[in-house]
Amino acid sequence: MPKLGWGHGQYWVDLSTVVTPPPPAVQSKGGYPGWQAGVILPSGLGMLGAYLSVWWQRLKWWAKLATPIHALPDHEKGVLLEVLRLLRHPEYPLACKAVKKTAHTLGFNRPEAWIELGRLMKQSNGLAENTYRHMEACRLLQANMISSTLSRPETNLMVELAYHRYAGTKGKGIGDL
């Protein structure tokens, strides 16, 4: 059922077990109800009608998206802008390839595979510290959740977004978490 015309949706809605056809007065010459013109009119405009229909759908989508964004505090809008910037960054496809490679590495879940990773972490104290802080923040989040159960990827993303919020505000405003 198309969503375009109000009358079209009202005609096909089933409010009872008895289906009542529209009264004859609503019928037009072609046998269609008069409000059916709202559904078929854009096709009469040709390409312009299709363009206007797509434009209208996009406008509704942006309005639906803008409402929750405008409700965010400024520091969270900043995090959202940072996420959007990184998703458009030219290095993002490389990050996706790196994640895929590590996700499909056989034996990566066995301790002997971590020997080289352990050496790398010992050589880079900053990387080791950040990895530990991230793991600890994920553990604390999962230990303190009230009712929600987040998946591991959701937990990791939420903690990473919180880190970006913290870095963007330089620690200010974090006390309310």
Q: What is the total count of domains within the chain?
A: 2
Q: Give residue 58's pLDDT.
A: 92
Best CA proximity match to 161, nearest among 99, 68, 81: 81
158 lies in some domain: yes
102 and 128 housed in the same domain? yes
pTM for this model (two decimals): 0.55
156 and 104 housed in the same domain? yes
Stretch 141-145: mean pLDDT: 86
Q: At residue 9, does pLDDT exceed 70? A: no
- By residue range, what is the domain housing residue 37? 6-62
83 and 136 housed in the same domain? yes
107 lies in some domain: yes
> Of 20, 43, 62, which one is at a domain's C-terminal end?
62
Q: At residue 3, does pLDDT exceed 60? A: no
Sequential DSSP letters for the chain: --SS-HHHHHHH---SSS--PPPGGGB-TTSSBGGGHHHHHHHHTTHHHHHHHHHHHHHHHHHHHHHHHHHS-HHHHHHHHHHHHHHTSTTHHHHHHHHHHHHT-TTTTSGGGHHHHHHHHHH-HHHHHHHHHHHHHHHHHHHH-SS----HHHHHHHHHHHHHHHHHHTTTT-TT-
Type of residue numbered 20: T
What percent of the chain lies above the pLDDT cut of 70?
68
Please indicate whether residue 2 or residue 105 has the higher confidence score (pLDDT).
Answer: 105
Q: Give residue 12's pLDDT.
A: 59
Q: At residue 173, does pLDDT exceed 60? A: no
Q: Give residue 35's pLDDT.
A: 62
163 and 77 housed in the same domain? yes
Place of tokens 């080289």: 116
Stretch 2-29: mean pLDDT: 57
What mean pLDDT value characterizes the chain?
Answer: 77
148 and 96 housed in the same domain? yes
Stretch 78-85: mean pLDDT: 87
Q: Give residue 175's pLDDT.
A: 43
Q: Give residue 91's pLDDT.
A: 92
Q: Give residue 174's pLDDT.
A: 45
Q: In this structure, are residues 143 and 151 in contact, taking their beta carbons and an 8 Å threshold? A: no
142 and 93 housed in the same domain? yes
Rounded Cα–Cα distance for residues 173 and 177 (Å): 8
Q: Give residue 15's pLDDT.
A: 59
57 and 84 housed in the same domain? no
Rounded Cα–Cα distance for residues 153 and 99 (Å): 12
34 and 89 housed in the same domain? no
Structure-token pair, residue 153: 């990827």
103 and 157 housed in the same domain? yes
Q: At residue 177, does pLDDT exceed 50? A: no
